[in-house]
Amino acid sequence: MDEKDKKDFFSYFNKPPKENPRFRFLLPLLLFILTFITTTMAGFEWIRGQVNSFDVSELVIGLPYSFSIMLFLSFHEFGHYFASRFHKVDASLPYFIPFASFLGFLNFGTFGAVIKTRTAIPTKKALFDIGASGPIAGFVISMGLVIYGFSHLPSKEFLMHIHPDYGTAEYGKNAISLTFGDSLLFSALRAMFTNASDFIPPMSEIYHYPFLCAGWFGLFVTSMNLVPVGQLDGGHIAYALLGEKKHYAVASVSMICLIILGFLGILKAFAFDWIPFGWPGWLFWSIILYFVVKIKHPPIYDFQKLDKKRKFLGWISLIIFLLSFSPTPFNIQ
């Protein structure tokens, strides 16, 4: 097989599949609209709680939350999309994933968003750029939301309007308590952008504050995506930065850590409440990574090393992961 035949052979298998142009644009648009609706309802419910009936006009209180969540997800996914287009990798528009509340279960109104690459990623530089652009763009938005939320905190009356018994002995009795887990960055921004005179809501009330809730969600999602395993964003970055063997070692250690945190979360929830950290969800996430995402990254047949700029951004991504990660993102009692 001569060079021309090889080129024709590989280009044949690298062609994007044929797709109805209407489907290519209409499905992402429909999912975007549905996710905007479900996140608006989620924002309403984080403040008001789930109610049997309400006026549609009341949903306006959910808009700051939904705009913030959609802004974060859009920057994250379009970061991937534009990096893909820059490197001539055919990729879909973002598919937002709506998730409506049901059975009294409050949620974020979405399972996130994804893009689908239709052609192979040709080089490590392209792999790195596509992997890093999303979490870095989303991280900037998340940090901005948290900063805005802490620097524009409403007075205590805002929370008292939601919980009239807040601060009393009766508050929280016979009720399920949900506490968001702190992270190094969230804690640092709280210290930097609040004053001693401010009423600073505890982590068990953060979800009532739309910008803080959306910013916290963004940091949580960013940290989940930056776990350096398989084809997660962190896996792309680690593979391009460290190479195949070192990436596999780092991915394996990361999986072990997630499994340990997951088992500690189970023990903490059902037997030993003195255990300081852990979350059963990390065990569930590790199962998804092992069976769906895989630990090992598919090979990229490109032996060029990354330039210094990309290496620097790779280590910045690792710092973002460490600052955003919470060993106990949710504590339910």
- Asked if 136 and 55 sit in the same domain, the reply is no
* Position with higher pLDDT, 171 vs 316: 316
Whether residue 51 is found in the same domain as residue 10 = yes
For the stretch 141-157, pLDDT in tens is 999 999 999 999 999 99
Check whether 175 has a pLDDT greater than 90.
no
- Structural domains in the chain (count): 2
Q: Residue 238: in which H helix or E strand, if any? A: helix 233-242
The whole domain housing 48 covers 1-119
My answer on whether 115 and 131 are in the same domain is: no
Q: Residues 216, 331: one domain?
A: yes
Co-location of 145 and 281 in the same domain: yes
Looking at residue 293, the DSSP 8-state letter turns out to be I
The stretch 280-297 carries a mean pLDDT of 95
108 plus 155 within the same structural domain: no
Are 21 and 115 in the same domain? yes
Note whether 226 and 254 are same-domain residues. Answer: yes
- Give one DSSP letter per residue of 102-152, joined into a string: BTTB---SEEEEE--B-S---SHHHHHHHHHHHHHHHHHHHHHHHHHHHHT
* pLDDT reported for residue 271: 85
Give residue 52's pLDDT band: very low, low, confident or very high (50, 70, 90).
low
- CB-based burial of residue 138 (10 Å sphere; 0-12 exposed, 13-18 middle, 19+ buried)? buried
Q: Among residues 86, 190, 94, 192, which one has the least CA distance to residue 138?
A: 94
127 and 65 fall within a common domain: no
Closest by alpha carbon to 273, among 328, 206, 203, 218?
328
Say how far residue 293 (Cα) sits from the centre of its chain.
16
- Same domain for 262 and 150, yes or no, is yes
11-20, 124-133, 134-143, 293-302: segment of lowest average pLDDT: 11-20
- CB contact at 8 A, 152 and 211: yes
Q: What rounded mean pLDDT belongs to the chain?
A: 90
Do the beta carbons of residue 43 and residue 108 sit within 8 Å? no
Give yes or no: residues 40 and 186 share one domain.
Answer: no
What would the mean pLDDT of 70-83 be, rounded to a whole number?
Answer: 98
109: left (phi over 0), alpha (psi -120 to 50) or beta: left
Chain segment 222-265, per-residue pLDDT in tens? 999 999 999 999 999 999 999 999 999 999 999 999 999 999 99
| Residue 55 pLDDT | 75
Question: Is residue 139 domain-shared with residue 93, that is, in the same domain?
Answer: no
pLDDT at residue 7, as a whole number: 47
Count other C-beta atoms under 10 Å from residue 134's C-beta. 27
Euclidean distance between CA atoms 233 and 129, whole angstroms: 10
- Give this prediction's pTM: 0.91
